[in-house]
Amino acid sequence: MPTDAAPASRDPRGHRALRLGVGTALCLAISFGMDMPIPMVAPVLGVFLLASMNRPLSVKAGLGLALVAMLATGSGLALIPLLRYYPGAGVLLIALCLFLAFRHGLRGGNNLLSTFLIIGLTMISAAGTFDFGLAVTVIEALGKGLLLAALVLGVCHWLFPEPPGTPAPPPPPVLPPAEASRMALRAALVVLPAFLLALTDPLAYMPIILKAVSLGRQSCVTAAHGAAREIIGSTLLAGILAVLFWLGLRPFPSLWMYFLWMLLFALVVARKLYRLSPTPHPPSFWLNTLVTLIILLGQSVQDSIAGKDVYTAFAVRMGLFIAVTLYACLMLQLLEPRPRAPRRPGFFTRHPIGRLKRSPP
């Protein structure tokens, strides 16, 4: 007797891994090929979009997201005079705003919007204390990078659509107020030292802010137990992959080879992120690895174009990344709630009717 059973939906992880790998490589190649300002911003934003969204954005939604992101990042412009003339009050206000932005995402708000707000509060305000034109350049880079990432997201969904019948992903869990406040405080303290360092030389320490923002996001989903293995391990692995990537790129340094090598590395990481090649590490480990790899490579390419010593700059940058990561692990340990020890029975216990009663030996 024939039955009209609905066909089982295919596993969507393969298409998602292809979208992440191809989309990351496309964002990288287009941003460097068009000589966009701060070209590593577009692939970093592309990774965040491709990893967090399993549906394409409409044109209206993409433009609206870019406009909201530019307004959110532009909020850093309002803090520039305060940082210049009242630096102590400005830093305290930015620390409070970082806490509120992280808490907004943990309490069910839009994580992408909170991420752009954090970048605006840190990168743009730090750049503006050095040069207002540099702050405008950062806003332009974020706006163009987000538009490019949204366009690539649509192209990748057209090339590798979700299998029919795939259910929509469940919304992220909303944390209780006390837990969300504790984790938001921890994430804000992770980002704040990188922001203070960038105030001394924004041009040199922009990659450190992007790394700290990535660590802040990761600290919201990472428990203190195993933090060293996940956060430090992902940073060190990204450094090793960046060295291998650079060695492979050296014989044929061109934009085409840059795209192909990034495609290969991003696909390998995406397979592990979506558990097509199972590993003991969670998806946040591989997401942080890919973001750190893009930041390290993008800055090294910029150093090479500017005629700087790439290897010395890479060693210094990697040392700063490890220092920021160790500090993030310290915050995870210090702000992790400790289990309460069971109370030992005292010599005297209170009787139900209020009289003191001697405890039995």
Residue 356 has pLDDT above 50, yes or no: no
SS3 357: strand
Which tens digit of pLDDT belongs to each residue from 27-60?
999 999 888 888 888 899 899 889 888 877 777 7
The pLDDT score that the predictor gives to residue 285 is 86
Residue 271 has pLDDT above 90, yes or no: yes
What are the boundaries of each domain within the chain?
A: 13-161+177-336
Burial of 56 (0-12, 13-18, 19+ CB in 10 A): middle
The pLDDT score that the predictor gives to residue 169 is 65
Dist. CA 33–CA 31, nearest whole Å: 6
The pLDDT score that the predictor gives to residue 244 is 93
The pLDDT score that the predictor gives to residue 182 is 84
Dist. CA 120–CA 142, nearest whole Å: 9
Which tens digit of pLDDT belongs to each residue from 257-268?
999 999 999 999
Residue 137 has pLDDT above 80, yes or no: yes
Interacting residues of 62 by C-beta distance below 8 A, sequence separation 6+: 147, 150, 151, 154
Average pLDDT over residues 82-102: 88
Residue 354 has pLDDT above 60, yes or no: no
Choose the most confident range, by mean pLDDT, from 167-176, 190-199, 210-219: 190-199
- DSSP calls for 81-110: HHHHH-HHHHHHHHHHHHHHHHHHHHTTS-
The pLDDT score that the predictor gives to residue 36 is 87
The pLDDT score that the predictor gives to residue 337 is 61
> pLDDT class for 351, splitting at 50, 70, 90?
very low
Tell me the sheet residues that pair with 358. Answer: 348
The sign of the torsion formed by the CA atoms of 143, 150, 152, 60 equals negative
The pLDDT score that the predictor gives to residue 352 is 46
SS3 347: coil
Average pLDDT over residues 215-242: 76
* Spatial CA neighbour of 298 closest among 20, 45, 69, 49: 45
Choose the most confident range, by mean pLDDT, from 68-72, 290-294, 322-326: 290-294
Measured torsion, CA atoms of residues 145, 294, 328, 321, in degrees rounded to the nearest 10: -120
Average pLDDT over residues 72-88: 82
Which tens digit of pLDDT belongs to each residue from 6-28?
444 577 888 899 999 999 999 99
Which tens digit of pLDDT belongs to each residue from 61-74?
777 777 777 777 77
> pLDDT class for 317, splitting at 50, 70, 90?
confident
Tokens of 325: 């990561």
Residue 340 has pLDDT above 80, yes or no: no
Dist. CA 104–CA 99, nearest whole Å: 9
